[in-house]
Amino acid sequence: MMPAQPDLVLLFTRYPEPGQCKTRLIPALGQNGAADLHQRMTQLILAQLTRLAAIHPHHLEIHYDGGTKEQMRSWLGTAFHYRQQTAGDIGCRMQTAISRHQGRMQRLLLIGSDCPNLTAEILKEAFIALNTHDLVLGPAFDGGYYLIGTRQESSESICRTLFQDISWGTDTVYPITKNRAEQHQLRCHTLTRLHDIDTPADLRHLDHHPHPQ
């Protein structure tokens, strides 16, 4: 009997080099402040993924941009599997990352590191929803999404239809993606709407959030 394929989480982030990450926050925080916030948000999501591992076992891959694999290991440790993101826009990079696991997964979630209120419980909800749905989306208040999830049976269709001809970084990303999913008869589960932290106006949503331990 073949062993069950693992559930996967792909975390998209980047090496926190000042001036190269969270650039839209630099006018408010400065280069070092923006990089520090990026580090803190990445550590927050990793803390939630550690909590998730206790309630829903999964395999984690960190897909990074900027820096080297050695720098990423020095920053976040050697316990994770690191993979450099491919060239192209974010849609191309997400499509490639998911495609690499077709035939080698059961359920897969792809998340970023910009959403400090993403919890282990929300991630578990996404995995459970993929038992009965083809697609899971976590909408953000800015019109994008903070999570996209698929399962083996629908991953090819999702890669073929949901990542091309999207104006990434605009408030149309989530509605267009949801509409395309409906057009292709993909059963979609929608998670709670959360705030991404991308602009100075978003910083107010950090005020109540604790620092990682």
pLDDT 10s per residue in the chain (213 long)? 444 568 999 999 999 999 999 999 999 999 999 999 999 999 999 999 999 999 999 999 999 999 999 999 999 999 999 999 999 999 999 999 999 999 888 999 999 999 999 999 999 999 999 999 999 999 999 999 999 999 999 999 999 999 999 999 999 999 999 999 999 999 999 999 999 999 999 999 986 444 443
End-to-end C-alpha distance for the chain, whole angstroms: 42
Q: Does domain 8-203 have CATH number 3.90.550.10?
A: yes
User: Domain residue spans in the chain?
Assistant: 8-203
Task: Identify the DSSP state of 69.
Answer: H
Neighbouring C-beta atoms of residue 75, cutoff 10 Å? 15
Cβ neighbours of residue 153 closer than 8 Å, sequence gap 6 or more = 134
pTM of the model: 0.93
Quick one: tokens of 96?
A: 């490639």
Q: Which of 132, 7, 2, 125 is closest to 57 using CA atoms?
A: 7
Among candidate residues 6, 51, 42, 4, the one with its CA nearest the CA of residue 21:
42
